[in-house]
Amino acid sequence: MSKTINIYLLRHGKTVGEPALYGHTDVEVDQALQQQICDKLLSQQWAIEQIVTSPLKRCKDLALKVSDALPQASLSVNQDFKEIHFGDLDGKPFESVKKHWPELELFWQNPAQHTLPNAESLQAFNQRITKSWEQLVLDVEKDTLVICHGGTIRMILASLLPIDWQSSALYSVMQIGHQSFSHIQIIKADAIYKRVYSIASPLV
């Protein structure tokens, strides 16, 4: 007998703060916006029975709101679903790091080959996300909402589709908007089958 499980990958809302690379820096989303996202999410009427969140506030604060509204759904924090760590430039406003523009340009053009100072490499990020995602797929038995980050979602999609995780196009071409969701179905039968139903759909 086969079983079909829906997984919704939701990117957090736009954060408060100056433009910067926000990886592990624990910036927040305005609480009014968090409530708006929560309301829109609940209006989808998905049969969510499990919520998994990144530990960072921009995700976890929303997860707690959704959990309060869906008390029947279990809530867990997955440390490995954090965004990539941008090292010395993580959370630093672009205006304050102008001397690092050459390094940033190289990173944007070829992120797999040009790691920022003291940052997590793209390969290490890919391995962290892929390992944690594959474990979730093995364990999941219920429709699940995963609240995480744009980079995290891109790496998950790269593992499901014929996309090279090393390519800068994964970041420059594939747009994962704030509070957008990607819908994955997992079919557990004689084997585990994965289907991508939507990518970066806006909550309506």
Q: Residue 95 — φ and ψ, nearest 5°?
A: -60, -25
Q: Residue 103 falls within a domain, yes or no?
A: no
Least Cα distance to 147 among 46, 52, 48, 36 occurs for: 52
Residue 115 maps to a domain: no
Is 26 part of a structural domain of the chain? yes
List average pLDDT for each run of 10 residues in the chain, which is 204 residues long. 96 96 98 98 97 98 98 98 98 95 96 97 98 98 98 98 94 96 98 98 91
What CATH number should be reported for the domain holding residue 131?
3.40.50.1240
Give the separation between CA 72 and CA 66, rounded to whole angstroms: 11
Radius of gyration of the chain (CA): 17
Structural domain includes residue 33: yes
Cα three-residue angle 45-49-50, rounded to 5 degrees: 120
Looking at residue 166, its amino acid is Q
Nearest of 46, 47, 7 to residue 137 by alpha carbon? 7
- Would you say residue 98 lies in a domain? no
What pLDDT score was predicted for residue 62? 98
Q: What is the 3-state secondary structure (H, E, C) of the chain?
A: CCEEEEEEEEECCCCCCCCEECCCCCCCCCHHHHHHHHHHHHHCCCCCCEEEECCCHHHHHHHHHHHHHCCCCEEEECHHHCCCCCHHHECCEHHHCHHHHHHHHHHHHCCCCCCCCCCCCHHHHHHHHHHHHHHHHHHCCCCEEEEECHHHHHHHHHHHCCCCCCCCHHHHCCCCCCCEEEEEEEEECCCEEEEEEEEEEECC
Instruction: State the pLDDT at residue 120.
Output: 98
Task: Tell me what pLDDT residue 204 has.
Answer: 76
> Which residue range forms the structural domain that includes residue 184?
3-85+121-202
Residue 183, domain member (yes or no): yes
Tally of domains in the chain: 1
Q: What is the structure's pLDDT at 174? A: 95
